[in-house]
Amino acid sequence: MGSNTGFEPARSADRRSFWDEPEPLDWSQGATDRLTRRATLTIVLALSLGLWAAIWTAVASLASAIFG
């Protein structure tokens, strides 16, 4: 007796699941270069500082409106 309950999706052997590891990029086909770790951290830092600046600007604006 098989354990197939009918709930597992049938898929062919050549189709990959969504959760499978992605295929490696073929750099000879003109794939874009990935950012270096340093560049990524610099971008994250700049975005974080920008977010904090926006938050403090909003707080200061609210305080100015409330306390005149």
Q: Which domain holds residue 53?
A: 35-67
- In angstroms, rounded to a whole number, what is the distance separating the alpha carbons of residues 51 and 59? 12
Task: Pick 10 or 57 by higher pLDDT.
Answer: 57
In a domain, 14, yes or no: no
Written as one string, the DSSP assignment of 28-43 is: GG-PPPPPPHHHHHHH
* Joined tokens for residue 57: 């600007």
In a domain, 61, yes or no: yes
Q: Which residues contact 31 (CB under 8 A, 6 or more apart)?
A: 25
Q: How many domains does the chain have?
A: 1
> What φ, ψ does residue 33 adopt, rounded to 5°?
-75, 145
Do the domain assignments include residue 45?
A: yes
**40 in a structural domain:** yes
Q: What is the pLDDT of residues 1-41, one digit of tens each?
A: 555 566 655 655 566 666 666 666 666 655 456 778 899 99
User: 29 lies in a domain?
Assistant: no
Using DSSP's 3-state secondary structure scheme, residue 60 falls into helix
